[in-house]
Amino acid sequence: MKEPVRTTMTVRVRFFAAFRQTFGGKERIFELEEGTTLGRLLERLGDSPARRDEIFAAGEAGKPPALHPHVVVMINGENASARGGWSGELRSGDTVAVFPLMGGG
Amino acid sequence: MSGPSFGFFGRCLEIDLTSAAVRVRPLDADLIADYIGGRGLATRLFCDEADPAADPLEPGNVVVIAASPLVGTNAPTAARGHMVFRSPLSGLIGTSNSGGSWGFAFKATGHDALVIKGKAPEPVWIDITPAGAAIHPAGKLWGGDIHATTDALTSGFGPADRPRVLCIGPAGENLVRFADVANDRNRVYGRGGPGAVWGSKNLKAVRVSGKEKIGIRDLERYKSGYDQAFHLLRQAPVTKRLLRELGTAGLVELINVIGMLPRRNFQDCVHRDEDLERISGETIARTILERAAGCHLCPIGCQRRTRITRTGSPDESGEGPEYETVVLMGPVCDVYDLAAITTANYRCNELGLDTISFGGTVACAMELAEAGALPPGFDGGRGLRFGNAAVLERLAVDVAHRRGPGDLLAEGSWRLAESCGRPEASMSVKRMEIPAYDPRASFTQALGYMTSPSGACHLRGGYAVSLAFFGGAKEIPRFSLLQSPIAIRNMQNIGILQDSLGVCRFTGYAFGSDPWSRMLSGATGMDFSVARLEEIANRIADLERLFNLAAGAVPADDALPARFAESPVVVAGEKRIVSREAQERMRRDYYQVRGWDENGRPAAGPRPPRRPDPTEGRRP
């Protein structure tokens, strides 16, 4: 018999600050189909109205949802925009960090 | 005073401690038009008075503190003061800003700026009211800590008449090169050693009280800026709630996400998540925070009022720690013990030590100890080594009193490392210790440290950190050699304006120059357009540079320690250094962006500082 083709990948999502309450913990591990985009993962994260409201701004009808301007999403320590943003494909082993834009110093 | 004053009183109080002469001189409206107030005004007055060659700890040094035309209005956070002096740490311009309420109370004495010269024959304190200034012997105040001094000078007053006190602790008296000056007990002019300059002048404290008011010339214009500013502060999550909930230490884990959190005297940026959780803003909020608080007129509220409970010793309460303190006394010393960091922070508050330079100097000493480069028996059995949390609090006391190893540590990391024959162990620029962001994780921040007029400072040098968090068009790629010079010039200019307006940096998370332009124009009746503000920021940057050149600075001073050019750290999966070639290119382009020649000299600039006296020594 042939080996089954591997079609899933593991992505770690870490939450910080208030998002730890929103998403019920410090991190979640996702088994995702290969080729899953960041946008798809974020939609999965917003799996309840409350969670959706926390990260997505109210979008215009017919347009894809957008993150609130204060929500920062990083992949492996770089802003997700450097990896193709919403439509960029995730890779196995990626760590996605979700946190509110924070300041200090 | 004749007639109402709009935005400013036009009065500069000048005190010569050598002769005990006090005079009020008029402050020309042109000075406000060209330099606003705060940092700009203080820099101008300082440059007109100070001999750039005079030793920072000799009577020839001059201290200037200025408020801004917005101080005295109800503009959000507009209660800050700015202090300029020649720094005993860098030998260059010392320029430091503080919140609290002293700046506001000083303005209410009917003065815009305070110039202090000379040296009192005996320790003194100064009392300023609308009637003038009186110089009193410090007596038993000398030797007291900041809290005791503040309490002694404010006792016996009701809440409505309570004066405000700006003072030094033992560290300033003992000329610790990174001693601070504090108001409201725990709000500090922290960086560059202003406390030592006060100590060298035998000046313990300046108390202020008054009820002089300034008017607002064009209320409608002022209010349009005010309403917009307040609305935006309430909108942006950082200023609306995050800083209040988490304090600045809310950054600890996030700065680690972007690979920028230093460890072990900047030897690496590698931490275990569980270690960082022990010192994070969330943990502070959950475990030791009693309440958040804010400076005068501040709706943001980042201050941490905390309590430490330890078995075997009585509870202690105080203020802090904030992000810089957590990281410099924590991971940079390989310490992840929140109670130890916090109690050492309390000691620094009381004794008058800048927590950034203190942490950086202790970390440098720890590295020297590990390398066997310290003289035998140097630490007197204190256990000066990375990871020893218990040594922090004890060393703070040692340094402030210059006891045992504290005497050499009091000189700062650069002089400590130099005296051990290992200057490369000092993580400093222009001899001032680097704050809690590793420059290898952002070329923009690296260039900020290199070109900050006062030495490595995230506030005077430009705060590039938030640029790394923005996505899309707002983001400056943090490893762009091309964009970093313009980006950091812009960040520096925003900071110059905020310091000159007497307002908090954190307002920048909610809005830019426009509301300030309207509030400032409305308050003074003068026209401060956004474009005009930009011109003013450039003028102030030029003047600071001119002073540094007159004080002996050369382009080679605008550089990072060798470690950052030679030893890589891994950032977002890639090994990163800031090579000497990269530094040279960014420095060259930065000079160009500023309109400076290849030696960093402003081509055309403001009236230059006073000429150095050739008989005085050069940079200490």
Residues of chain A contacting residue B322, judged by C-beta atoms under 8 Å apart: 104
Section A83-96 average pLDDT: 93
Tokens 């938030």 found at: B466
pLDDT of residue B472: 54
Residues of chain B contacting residue A104, judged by C-beta atoms under 8 Å apart: 243, 247-251, 302, 322-323, 506
Report residue A88 as tokens: 């960029």
Closest Cβ–Cβ partner in B243, B245, B257 for A103: B243
pLDDT tens per residue, range B380-392: 999 999 999 999 9
Report the share of chain B in percent with pLDDT over 70: 97
Find how far residue B258's CA is from the centre of its chain. 24
Q: What DSSP character marks residue B193?
A: -
Q: Which residue of B has its CA nearest to A102?
A: B238
Closest Cβ–Cβ partner in A17, A78, A85 for B572: A78
User: Nearest to residue B248, comparing CAs of B258, B263, B240, B238?
Assistant: B238
Q: Is the predicted pLDDT of residue B615 greater than 90, yes or no?
A: no
Q: Which residue of A has its CA nearest to B236?
A: A70
Tell whether A21 lies on the interface with B, counting CB pairs under 8 A: no
* Minimal CA separation from B436 to chain A, in Å: 8
Report the share of chain A in percent with pLDDT over 70: 88
CB B237 to CB A76 under 8 A? no
**What is the C-alpha end-to-end distance of chain B, expressed in Å?**
43
Alpha-carbon torsion (B313, B315, B316, B321), positive or negative: positive
Find residue B353's DSSP bridge partners.
B179
Section B349-372 average pLDDT: 98
pLDDT tens per residue, range B83-124: 999 999 999 999 999 999 999 999 999 999 999 999 999 999
Tell whether A4 lies on the interface with B, counting CB pairs under 8 A: no
Pairing of strands B203-208, B124-129: parallel
Tokens 């002469």 found at: B21
For residues B330 and B406, the answer to whether their CB atoms sit within 8 Å is no
pLDDT of residue B465: 85
Residues of chain B contacting residue A102, judged by C-beta atoms under 8 Å apart: 238, 242, 246, 250-251, 254, 469
CB B469 to CB A17 under 8 A? no
For an interface test with A, the pick among B77, B240, B242, B457 (most A C-beta atoms closer than 10 Å) comes out as B242
Find residue A66's DSSP bridge partners.
A57
pLDDT-based confidence at residue B603 (cuts at 50, 70, 90): confident
Q: What is the mean pLDDT of chain A?
A: 87
Cα R_g (chain A), whole angstroms: 15
Report residue B446 as tokens: 């690296």
Angle at B330 between CA B329 and CA B333, to 5 degrees: 75
Residues of chain A contacting residue B436, judged by C-beta atoms under 8 Å apart: 105
CA dist B403 and B405 (Å) reads 6
pLDDT tens per residue, range B562-592: 999 999 999 988 999 999 999 999 999 999 9
For residues A79 and B468, the answer to whether their CB atoms sit within 8 Å is yes
Q: Is the predicted pLDDT of residue B3 greater than 60, yes or no?
A: no
Find residue B501's DSSP bridge partners.
none
Find how far residue B546's CA is from the centre of its chain. 20
Tell whether A50 lies on the interface with B, counting CB pairs under 8 A: no
Q: Is the predicted pLDDT of residue B1 greater than 50, yes or no?
A: no
CA dist A105 and B469 (Å) reads 14
Q: Is the predicted pLDDT of residue B620 greater than 70, yes or no?
A: no
Any idea of the CA torsion for B117, B119, B124, B126, to the nearest 10 degrees? -10
Section B295-303 average pLDDT: 96
CA dist B555 and B493 (Å) reads 20
pLDDT of residue B501: 98
pLDDT higher at B280 or B612: B280
Residues of chain A contacting residue B249, judged by C-beta atoms under 8 Å apart: 104
Tell whether A78 lies on the interface with B, counting CB pairs under 8 A: yes
pLDDT of residue B421: 97
pLDDT of residue B604: 76
Residues of chain A contacting residue B242, judged by C-beta atoms under 8 Å apart: 17-18, 100, 102-103
Pairing of strands B181-183, A27-33: unpaired
pLDDT tens per residue, range B132-142: 999 999 999 99
pLDDT of residue B410: 98
Section B3-30 average pLDDT: 94
* Minimal CA separation from A7 to chain B, in Å: 25
pLDDT of residue B617: 46
CA distances from B249 to B184, B582, B597 (A): 21, 31, 40
Pairing of strands B63-66, B113-117: antiparallel
3-state DSSP assignment of residue B84 = strand
For residues B295 and B305, the answer to whether their CB atoms sit within 8 Å is no
Q: What share of chain B is helix, strand, coil (3-state, %, to 5)?
A: 40, 15, 40
pLDDT tens per residue, range B139-164: 999 999 999 999 999 999 998 899 99
pLDDT tens per residue, range B309-321: 988 889 999 999 9
Tell whether A57 lies on the interface with B, counting CB pairs under 8 A: no
Q: Is the predicted pLDDT of residue A56 greater than 50, yes or no?
A: yes
CA dist B181 and B84 (Å) reads 12
Residues of chain B contacting residue A94, judged by C-beta atoms under 8 Å apart: none
* Minimal CA separation from B259 to chain A, in Å: 7
pLDDT tens per residue, range B479-506: 999 999 999 999 999 999 999 999 999 9
User: Nearest to residue B348, comparing CAs of B200, B150, B190, B457?
Assistant: B190
Q: Is the predicted pLDDT of residue B56 greater than 90, yes or no?
A: yes
Residues of chain A contacting residue B324, judged by C-beta atoms under 8 Å apart: 105
DSSP letters spanning B196-243:
HHHHHTTEEEEEE------B-S-HHHHHHHHHHHHHHHHHSHIIIIIH
Backbone angles phi, psi at B171, to 5 degrees: -60, -40
Single pTM value for the model: 0.96
* Minimal CA separation from A3 to chain B, in Å: 32
For an interface test with A, the pick among B254, B282, B511 (most A C-beta atoms closer than 10 Å) comes out as B254
pLDDT tens per residue, range B426-477: 999 999 999 999 999 999 999 999 999 999 999 999 998 877 776 555 567 8
Tell whether A73 lies on the interface with B, counting CB pairs under 8 A: yes
**What is the C-alpha end-to-end distance of chain A, expressed in Å?**
60
For residues A86 and A37, the answer to whether their CB atoms sit within 8 Å is yes
Q: Is the predicted pLDDT of residue A3 greater than 70, yes or no?
A: no
Tell whether A87 lies on the interface with B, counting CB pairs under 8 A: no
Residues of chain B contacting residue A100, judged by C-beta atoms under 8 Å apart: 237-238, 242
pLDDT of residue A67: 85
Please, which residues have CB within 8 angstroms of residue B220's CB and are 6 or more apart in sequence? B522
Q: Is the predicted pLDDT of residue A4 greater than 70, yes or no?
A: no
Tell whether A86 lies on the interface with B, counting CB pairs under 8 A: no
CA dist B16 and B6 (Å) reads 28
